[in-house]
Structure 1
């Protein structure tokens, strides 16, 4: 019995040794078939920040499948698109693609992946259909492993593929604005004023129930106070004129500052749409300044005098209802330090008169006094200029003339005689 069992085991072992090794499934022929199309909407508008969604599909099929071919597995299928990279460009369309090529990895078949390309539609884009080229790069297993013998070495050959797939987008008609003219009235640093804009609809759609707005551009020194003007119908090639009230920051400089202009309107589909922004420059004059242009007038110690001071508007805008103030100090004083100047245009001059008294002990010399001007801007806001200076000269008293000296001596003598006479009479009465 023991010998019988041993023989059975040996026979089974021999059978197993001569059994064929199970083969591997392998594919002959076939390649990836990569296509692409825009997923979602392909309608865009001028000035829009857009996201273009693209779907990449691989629908390649194998030609023949072999079984029991060799002992080594096939690492890749010939239909797999490997190391896929895609890049979208404008192709001359009024669209700026803001991302570079994107790596997607491997796409098997069947397989689908979606990629997003951020884009900016130019504000002056014309309506119509545009083609965007999508560049696709990948590689695939191109040699057949069907006849690969049982071996420890597999020879794999990959073929690179570069293909360009056209994608179609549509630029839809919209109201597009262009500022034709800018007029700024008496607009200076630290003041309020008016900005008058002439605006044209250069787009391909008529807007209705339209409102034209101006907005502060970033940290611009021009800040709209009244920023909306309702214009109603705003047809293609139509022109409107809009007046806005704005203020200028006290920290501004004499230069041109930007503002943004946009239109909110109802389109032909009844939807409320906001147009792309048109940015324009608004000129701002420097802060209104004044100067004293008259020579200093003189006053003598111990006397009162009326001095004339001539003021000049050295700024670029009108100073309405101007009033000057002279700041007196020390030995100089006066009953009234204010003088009304009226409207003072740029470059204009006006004379102010001040009554000034100099104390008896005032030292001769030139005294520098502070002065300032309060005025109103174009929107009747009260403003005060920076302090500037005006000079007044205190002259020494002139020496007395000989005739005056004789009169003074005679006067003293007469007083002495009268005093002596009065004293003698007083003694006689005693």
Structure 2
């Protein structure tokens, strides 16, 4: 029985009542039980056990003296069955050492078992038999609760009423009854104070130490290419720490989630004793047992694949002898860390019986996969043209057969999207060719790099985001104005200026001729033109004789090679051309002159003829 006492100050209808005390009786307070889950049989050396600890308190009975007690306790009954400030520690015995440190729980609710994994070491020389480990628990339970509570009684006007109406068979109201509901005090607590009582328990846990004829002990671990997302090789050096020879020993590797093991035997054994095979298959593939001719010593093909996965055939392993077992481990997890592995052996003892060794645990450190860091990007991509993107990146660890690819969305498109790196580590460069559409704005556009590589013989990949700078489209300007008289042909010369940010090479200017113009020479060679430079270009234009004298504009385009040595045609710019009236002799005057010339010539001719006759 447990008694919780209260000191309560209650305010009823604003009248203070002091010094009144209350008591609460309840059953049961927290107490613990514990047991070893699974097998409690261990061998010499290190072993893992799982201890299940439970707070078995059940609130079997509560006696309330008044409403104040009920109002507080009824909504907080779990506090009475919860153990607080719980410390758990394990003690071994002669020959058995518990290596797991103590555990602490701020609160341990009732009927919620907790599993505690513990590691023990059974020393050499200990005799087989039963031994006792001790679990010591110290905790606190609530002893007293002190309350300062206030409450008020509602006035009659605030009392809730219920109206009952009764009707006869004809539907006429015959009776009305008003019932006032019972109004409970409205209560709150100004402060609550708890007093705890310390308690201790000691629970004994039985373990059985077995005499082991064969015990596998891990004396060395070598991991190669053990990298997240890759494929590595794991070589474990084992020792027979038992007293008898393990005949026809198979060693199996048990991996944690995210790992898959394969034997490195290129050709698994084709002949083994039937007893060993039977014991092995009972662990590996129970369904395959029905397909095996046990008296036959040959291993069927369907079992060869089973033996090749996470199983290594050692043969005979005498006491205190060592052997290396090697497995290929496929790693699908991406998280680095220290992962638990286990080895187990299946062998034939001296009496021809198939036996299994206990699991032997060991840990392997898994490294992070290669980190890809983009150090710099250099873009020669301009709107409306193709360009190169040079990426300098750093790979945190050596990788084999690496290649880098790039993917982008409009307005970018990849022309050359892959670059082979080979076997690399540290800084390296990759070069891609991309094209930006004509309407692309000068900006930095997102793209994604994907590094594909091999660790061991497994291909893996990493992705990283980058920005690709697209520069403003090349622009040219035209300065000056051509003048062509109507009906005549003239040489028109203007200046073309590079308004862009890079030098163009092998540039040629070309005009598009429309009415009232015609031409026999519509191109002009420019050559190289640096940013801000200008040069003269000339074209031969003829204006129709009926052309209206005014200012015209012809389109001028420049074809050039950009910094990536790609041919590009610029956006057209306007070249102004003015048609003016012809400045030659008027047509009427020309006629008079022609007639006069003919008359003079005729006169001279006749004059010469007359002289010759004379």
- TM category (shorter chain) comes to 0.5 to 0.7
Question: Which whole-Å CA distance do the structure 2 matches of 1:183 and 1:169 have between them?
Answer: 33
Aligned mate of 1:182, from 371, 377, 383 = 377
Task: Give the number of the structure with larger relative contact order, counting CA–CA contacts within 8 Å between residues 6 or more apart.
Answer: 1
Instruction: Name the counterpart of 2:56.
Output: 62
Question: Which whole-Å CA distance do the structure 2 matches of 1:391 and 1:419 have between them?
Answer: 50
Whether the 8 Å CA contact 2:54–2:113 is kept in 1: the answer is no
Whether the 8 Å CA contact 2:55–2:110 is kept in 1: the answer is no
Question: Which whole-Å CA distance do the structure 1 matches of 2:568 and 2:446 have between them?
Answer: 24
Structure 1 unmatched runs, 5+: 1-24, 34-56, 82-105, 114-140, 145-156, 160-167, 423-430
- Confirm whether residue 234 of structure 1 aligns to residue 234 of structure 2: no
Whether the 8 Å CA contact 2:562–2:568 is kept in 1: the answer is yes
Q: Secondary structure at the match of 2:55?
A: coil
Instruction: Name the counterpart of 1:305.
Output: 490
- Confirm whether residue 200 of structure 1 aligns to residue 383 of structure 2: no
Instruction: Name the counterpart of 1:213.
Output: 405
Instruction: Name the counterpart of 1:426.
Output: none
Task: Note closer, same or farther for the CA distance 1:193–1:108 as it changes in structure 2 (3 Å cut).
Answer: farther
Task: Note closer, same or farther for the CA distance 1:108–1:339 as it changes in structure 2 (3 Å cut).
Answer: farther
Task: Note closer, same or farther for the CA distance 1:191–1:407 as it changes in structure 2 (3 Å cut).
Answer: closer
Question: Which whole-Å CA distance do the structure 1 matches of 2:336 and 2:399 have between them?
Answer: 23
Q: TM-score, normalised by structure 2?
A: 0.39
Aligned mate of 2:461, from 274, 288, 292 = 274
Whether the 8 Å CA contact 1:143–1:158 is kept in 2: the answer is no
User: Post-superposition shift, 1:389?
Assistant: 0.5
CA distances 1:298-334 after superposition (whole Å, capped 9, x unpaired) = 2222211121233223222444543433223333222
Whether the 8 Å CA contact 1:222–1:258 is kept in 2: the answer is no
Whether the 8 Å CA contact 1:309–1:353 is kept in 2: the answer is yes
Whether the 8 Å CA contact 2:55–2:109 is kept in 1: the answer is no
CA distances 1:267-315 after superposition (whole Å, capped 9, x unpaired) = 3x654332352x443332201222212x213222221112123322322
User: Post-superposition shift, 1:189?
Assistant: 0.6
Question: Which whole-Å CA distance do the structure 2 matches of 1:223 and 1:321 have between them?
Answer: 26
Instruction: Name the counterpart of 1:109.
Output: 111
Question: Which whole-Å CA distance do the structure 1 matches of 2:591 and 2:463 have between them?
Answer: 91
Question: Which whole-Å CA distance do the structure 1 matches of 2:596 and 2:336 have between them?
Answer: 117
Instruction: Name the counterpart of 2:472.
Output: 286
Whether the 8 Å CA contact 2:379–2:390 is kept in 1: the answer is yes
Matches within 5 A, 1:341-360: 341-360=526-545
Instruction: Name the counterpart of 2:29.
Output: 28
Question: Which whole-Å CA distance do the structure 2 matches of 1:229 and 1:361 have between them?
Answer: 62
Task: Note closer, same or farther for the CA distance 1:232–1:109 as it changes in structure 2 (3 Å cut).
Answer: farther
Structure with the higher fraction of residues in strand conformation: 2
Instruction: Name the counterpart of 1:366.
Output: 551
Question: Which whole-Å CA distance do the structure 2 matches of 1:313 and 1:400 have between them?
Answer: 42
- Confirm whether residue 314 of structure 1 aligns to residue 308 of structure 2: no
Whether the 8 Å CA contact 1:32–1:109 is kept in 2: the answer is no
Instruction: Name the counterpart of 1:51.
Output: none
Aligned mate of 1:334, from 514, 519, 538 = 519
Task: Note closer, same or farther for the CA distance 1:31–1:364 as it changes in structure 2 (3 Å cut).
Answer: farther
Question: Which whole-Å CA distance do the structure 2 matches of 1:66 and 1:310 have between them?
Answer: 101
Q: Which runs of 4+ in 1 moved over 6 A?
A: 65-72, 405-408, 417-422
Instruction: Name the counterpart of 1:261.
Output: 449
Task: Note closer, same or farther for the CA distance 1:378–1:29 as it changes in structure 2 (3 Å cut).
Answer: same
Question: Which whole-Å CA distance do the structure 2 matches of 1:324 and 1:377 have between them?
Answer: 15
Task: Note closer, same or farther for the CA distance 1:142–1:311 as it changes in structure 2 (3 Å cut).
Answer: same
Instruction: Name the counterpart of 2:437.
Output: 249
Task: Note closer, same or farther for the CA distance 1:225–1:158 as it changes in structure 2 (3 Å cut).
Answer: farther
Task: Note closer, same or farther for the CA distance 1:357–1:69 as it changes in structure 2 (3 Å cut).
Answer: closer
Question: Which whole-Å CA distance do the structure 2 matches of 1:319 and 1:169 have between them?
Answer: 52
Whether the 8 Å CA contact 1:292–1:310 is kept in 2: the answer is yes
Whether the 8 Å CA contact 1:254–1:284 is kept in 2: the answer is yes
Whether the 8 Å CA contact 1:311–1:352 is kept in 2: the answer is yes
Task: Note closer, same or farther for the CA distance 1:388–1:273 as it changes in structure 2 (3 Å cut).
Answer: same
Q: TM-score, normalised by structure 1?
A: 0.54
Instruction: Name the counterpart of 1:223.
Output: 413
Q: Secondary structure at the match of 2:496?
A: strand
Whether the 8 Å CA contact 2:82–2:109 is kept in 1: the answer is yes
Over aligned residue pairs, what C-alpha RMSD do you find? 4.8
Question: Which whole-Å CA distance do the structure 1 matches of 2:436 and 2:535 have between them?
Answer: 27
Structure 2 unmatched runs, 5+: 1-25, 35-50, 65-69, 84-107, 116-140, 145-191, 195-334, 338-365, 606-614
